[in-house]
Amino acid sequence: MNLKLTMINASDGPVSFDYNFVDKDHEVTDFSGIGGVHLIDPVGKKKYFVARDSENKCLCSQRVKDIAAGSRANLWAKFPAPPDDVQKISVVVPHFAPMDDVPLGR
């Protein structure tokens, strides 16, 4: 399953990726990426982590440059597909409130 999102920087300063959005268990390989983003199926009570390759690197946006004030960045991450009966999911991005009831496109 693919997640595509846009991060908009509405602040006065840059948003740095560095270690801000990494999975703490994979900090080194996730540096400047979004490996810490995850999905939650609230009905099935299951958490989905970003898929990883054979070198344990996330299958997600990597080497993301800082987002300047007033700018945006398009990001992506791959996840294992939830069961077909899952219609909505929560998207969790570190440092942000969860986005609940996000409909899944099939």
- Cβ contact 72:99 at 8 Å: no
67, amino acid identity? I
Q: 54 lies in which domain range?
A: 2-98
Residue 105: the pLDDT is: 86
Query: What tokens appear for 94 in the block?
Result: 């570190």
Backbone angles phi, psi at 32, to 5 degrees: 65, 25
pLDDT in tens, the chain (106 residues): 999 999 999 999 999 999 989 988 888 888 999 999 999 999 899 999 999 999 999 999 999 999 999 999 999 999 999 999 999 999 999 999 999 999 998 7
Whether 103 is in a domain gets the answer: no
CATH code at position 82: 2.60.40
Residue 7: the pLDDT is: 95
Residue 29: the pLDDT is: 86
User: Cβ–Cβ contacts within 10 Å for residue 28, how many?
Assistant: 9
Whether 55 is in a domain gets the answer: yes
How many structural domains comprise the chain? 1
